[in-house]
Amino acid sequence: MPRITHPSPPQSVLTTFEMTPGTCQDLIDALVDAYDSFISHQPGFIAAALHVNDAQTRIANYSQWARREDFQAMLRSDEMRRRNREIHALCRSFEPVMYDVAATFGTD
């Protein structure tokens, strides 16, 4: 499971997807399948979570990778390029962005 720490050795990636309520579940299904059958088996993958807003117009994906190069290699694979074309057809836009953890808060 994702564990957010500071300083954070893993690479954090937040990807936002914008879509219509009519394609939200299809997009979630495509993302779940991508994680179940491909992404979670790639070198350096640690964990991920999908979040959907109440209006079903946005999905936020948080993932952690051992190194940024691991995430980039997954994106460049033929399998993920094919899947990203399918995912793009289900949404208006999506953008993966790599982040460094600047601070953390919580009870643990």
Q: Which residues share a beta bridge with 12?
A: 64, 99
Helix-helix angle 21-37:78-89, to 10 degrees: 170
pLDDT greater than 90 at residue 21: yes
pTM for the whole structure: 0.90
Q: How far is 10 from 4, CA to CA, in rounded Å? A: 9
pLDDT per residue as tens digits for the range 52-77:
999 999 999 999 999 999 999 999 99
pLDDT greater than 70 at residue 81: yes
- What is the architecture, at CATH level 2, of domain 11-99? 2-Layer Sandwich (3.30)
pLDDT of 4: 72
CB neighbour list of residue 78: distance below 8 Å, 6 or more residues apart: none
Q: What are the CA-CA distances from residue 26 to residues 17, 20, 21, 43, 55 (Å)? A: 12, 10, 10, 27, 15
